[in-house]
Structure 1
Amino acid sequence: MRPFHDRLARIGLEAVEKYGFVLAGGYAISANGMGDRPSSDVDLFTDLGDPEQFAEAVEALRHAFRVDGLVVTDNRIGPTFADLRVVDEATETWSDIQLGWDYREFPPRMLEIGPVLDPRDAVANKMGALWSRGEARDYIDIHTVLESGRFTRVDVLAMGDQIEAVPLDRRMLAERFRQAGRFSAADFAQYDVGSVQRIAIVETFLDWADEVDPAVVR
């Protein structure tokens, strides 16, 4: 985790843990021992959908950052979503931090940094992100999960199915898998992924696509 992100996560989790917030997103994958992909922001999510409590949590977070000498501005605020920009003017370092609401099936893990999504929820949410948006970072994270040996392809698919209203359509999912190659080397490089690893990721998802939807022959 980038040093400034580590600082924001620790301050943030201490401030809003009582509202059910935990470290989520890509950093939840790495905090659970699967890879170390750098991220552009910090995600803190709760499973409590009360807008009043959510607003209290956002204000508590703003206050905690300001007490630590940081400048906070609102990018976007909703009933159960907040996107804040946090700046350390002394070092001219900045980052966005996002708060949101999401379903989780398991209790969070208490790690050294603070409460973190259970790895099964972290992987399920990442599969949901790959299914819905399919950004380069989503392919990287799911590939990292598989490479860790902690979960199999079958496990990951089952986790993805659990957070959707209906199981993921395998033909559409296979098409999403086949889109991994649409990202350039530069798209992957911003996450410290070189050309060799990029090829491995693309090939993994092409093979997986054939596995979940064998009707299509490459």
Structure 2
Amino acid sequence: MRNHAAVQRRIAKLLLSVTADAGFALAGAGALREHGIVDRPTEDIDVFTVMEHADEFEESVDSAIAHLRERGFSVEVLTSNPGFRRIQVASADGDVIDVDLGIDWRSASPVFLDVGPVLAPTDAMGSKITALYSRGYPRDFLDVDAIRRAGSFTDEELLQIAENTDPGFDRATFALQLRQVRVLSSETVAAYRVSAADLALIQERLTQWADDIETPPEPNSQSSTFHQIIDDMHHLAQQPERFKDSSSAAPRAEPGPPVVDSSRELE
């Protein structure tokens, strides 16, 4: 998998320069990358707004497509539904990037970084954790491990962020899903620049987290209450610098049983 990070960032910046006033913000792995949490190759860009801007969606997306074409990119619309558009953007140098533009829920206002508006760290993390919970693609395991290693939140705080993102989030089911990391092979993650040795460490860390979830701490040992965590989330959303140096390194999930698909084509 080619590392399209530079051209992806350029495309995202162009899209957001046109759509920011309609509430659009960078989401997905791109948001995590802008916050310095992950640094892996990815094939797509996610840019989402919220329901209060739904009536501006179509016009904003049309303007964004026109803007990309004016800047020398070719654009093909792959899917067009109310509130959702998937386009394929090709550069003059041959880079081909899929872009999803849609409407999604968020708990906090986006933060403004060099690329433009980006999901607040807590929203970006919550979306990724619930993505692992609901679908379990290989990249989801990698990203959740990176989120934990960033160390910006405790495991308990991350679980509460996930519960705030998806009211159907169930900890016991999530622990079972974490254990599915053992299904991954080095071949399924090689495109993300993850070695067999790296994968073994990721499997060990996520399996240990599953063990910890299934063995709840003693009462009163948690660092803060749920409501305190949510208050902290909104406060920290305005402090993106906290996340910039803390790591080496899809739309909001609907409640439902998790499924692991390690054979799915990597994106």
TM-score (norm 2): 0.76
Deviant stretches of 4+, over 6 Å: none
User: Which of 103, 106, 116 is the aligned partner of 1:104?
Assistant: 106
- Structure 1 alignment gaps of length 5 or more: none
C-alpha deviation, 1:153, in angstroms: 0.9
C-alpha deviation, 1:51, in angstroms: 4.3
Residue 198 (structure 2) aligns with: 197
Aligned length: 213
Residue 147 (structure 2) aligns with: 145
| Residue identity matched to 1:82 | R
Q: In structure 1, what is the Cα distance between the partners aligned to 2:16 and 2:53?
A: 18
1:178 is the counterpart of 2:169: no
Alignment of 1:79-118 (within 5 A): 79-88=82-91, 90-118=92-120
The SS at the match of 1:45 is: strand
C-alpha deviation, 1:183, in angstroms: 1.7
TM-superposition CA deviations, 1:147-170 (whole Å, max 9, x none): 11111211111110001224x222
User: Which of 141, 158, 161 is the aligned partner of 1:159?
Assistant: 161
C-alpha deviation, 1:105, in angstroms: 0.9
Instruction: Please say if residues 16 and 61 of structure 1, whose CA atoms lie closer than 8 Å, have aligned partners that are also in contact.
Output: yes
Q: In structure 1, what is the Cα distance between the partners aligned to 2:140 and 2:21?
A: 29
Q: Which structure ranks higher in relative contact order (CA pairs < 8 Å, sequence separation ≥ 6)?
A: 2
Identical amino acids, percent of aligned pairs: 32
C-alpha deviation, 1:52, in angstroms: 3.5
Q: In structure 1, what is the Cα distance between the partners aligned to 2:104 and 2:156?
A: 23
Instruction: Please say if residues 20 and 48 of structure 1, whose CA atoms lie closer than 8 Å, have aligned partners that are also in contact.
Output: no
Which structure dedicates a bigger proportion of its chain to strand? 1
TM-superposition CA deviations, 1:43-72 (whole Å, max 9, x none): 111113554311112101111111111111
Q: In structure 1, what is the Cα distance between the partners aligned to 2:182 and 2:203?
A: 6
- Structure 2 alignment gaps of length 5 or more: 217-267
Residue 209 (structure 1) aligns with: 210
* Greater Cα shift, 194-203 or 45-54: 45-54
Instruction: Please say if residues 22 and 53 of structure 2, whose CA atoms lie closer than 8 Å, have aligned partners that are also in contact.
Output: no
C-alpha deviation, 1:133, in angstroms: 0.6
Residue 28 (structure 2) aligns with: 25
Instruction: Please say if residues 38 and 191 of structure 1, whose CA atoms lie closer than 8 Å, have aligned partners that are also in contact.
Output: yes
The SS at the match of 1:190 is: helix
TM-superposition CA deviations, 1:15-62 (whole Å, max 9, x none): 111110111001111211212122111111111355431111210111
| Residue identity matched to 2:166 | E
Q: In structure 2, what is the Cα distance between the partners aligned to 1:151 and 1:64?
A: 38
| Residue identity matched to 2:132 | L
Instruction: Please say if residues 12 and 61 of structure 1, whose CA atoms lie closer than 8 Å, have aligned partners that are also in contact.
Output: yes
The SS at the match of 2:51 is: coil
Instruction: Please say if residues 49 and 80 of structure 1, whose CA atoms lie closer than 8 Å, have aligned partners that are also in contact.
Output: no
Residue 61 (structure 2) aligns with: 58
| Residue identity matched to 2:123 | D
| Residue identity matched to 1:109 | V
TM-score (norm 1): 0.92
| Residue identity matched to 1:74 | V
| Residue identity matched to 2:179 | R
